[in-house]
Amino acid sequence: MQLNTKTKKLEVFLSQQPKLRNMSLPRTSDQPVISIVMPSFNQVKYIEKSILSVLNQDYSYVELIIIDGGSTDGTLDILKKYEKYLTYWHSGPDEGQSDALNHGFSKASGDIYGWMNSDDLYLPGVFNKISNKILTDKPTSVIFGDFWSIDYTDKLICENYAFDFNLFHFIYEGFHLNVQAMFWTKDAHSRFGNFDILLHRTMDYDFIVRLGLTEGKNSFKRISQPLACFRRHDEQKTRSHENDEHLGYDPLVRKEHLLIANKNGFNNKYLWYGRVFRFYYRFRRAYWYLKRGGTRYLYERILRKKSG
């Protein structure tokens, strides 16, 4: 599919917003419940589209839980507008995004979990794909797919191809999947535990690392389709979500990654041989870019890396 065709598909989906579709789809007895937790804080520009990307899925049973950090920009008006469709929502001061996520997942009762930020989007038809995969592939506890990057006007910036999960690659070289394009079972979340409230920038990295440690490589299943849109804009808390983020230039990001490495027992990634591993996994990344996107995609990613 060409990029302009994908752009059109995204435009058609977004053009149906903010109209709410039919919410009374039939449910079968074996259909898993999908619980989505959405932390938010002063994202009135985007949160309605994020909410509707959940509610407008062609799926019959969804829990949407929104934990707001006490927004003052009009977000509460949006939450009240959709209140009857929300399983639970709360607005008030908290200890940060990790605290909000813990609050939200403590209210979840579904079989499958997802985390959607209040400025990002799910693509249409995603929940059906995920539930079917869970039903037909019982050993699977984590499912992830590709994602698109969009700007503040909903314009498609680029496609981002995920590749097969490898914990050591994730540790030493960085992200090759995005938590907004990822779902996991309730049991996997129980084994994971809680988000670390000491982390304010890198809780997604810590989350995937710890899932990798508890679930194992074979429990991660990749879908070769885009599942979500990750929005890039000037107000977002973490501007970069590229593979170098794990060594980030932001002092707080680096401090948090050191904390994650120490508590999970892989602080050797900062030693000299850790750099050797990182160099090796850079080649693995290039291989997957070539495999998933071809030579043009690999070339574009190299150019983007140099310009970034």
Position 110 in a domain: yes
Mean pLDDT on 67-87 = 96
What's the structural domain count of the chain? Answer: 1
Position 10 in a domain: yes
The boundaries of the domain holding residue 72 are 3-166+176-235
Position 217 in a domain: yes
Lowest mean pLDDT among 93-107, 114-128, 232-246: 232-246
Helix ranges restricted to H, the chain: 3-15, 47-55, 75-81, 97-106, 126-136, 167-172, 186-192, 203-215, 251-264, 272-307
**pLDDT above 90: residue 230:** yes
Q: From 115, 99, 109, select the one nearest 195 (Cα to Cα).
A: 99
Q: What is the pLDDT of residue 134?
A: 83
Position 279 in a domain: no
Angle at 270 between CA 266 and CA 271, to 5 degrees: 100
- Three-state DSSP class for residue 202: coil
Confidence band (pLDDT; 50, 70, 90) for 159? very high
Position 252 in a domain: no
Position 241 in a domain: no
Q: What percent of the chain has pLDDT above 90?
A: 70
Position 127 in a domain: yes
CATH of the domain at 210: 3.90.550.10
Residue 225, amino acid: Q
Position 282 in a domain: no
**pLDDT above 60: residue 268:** yes
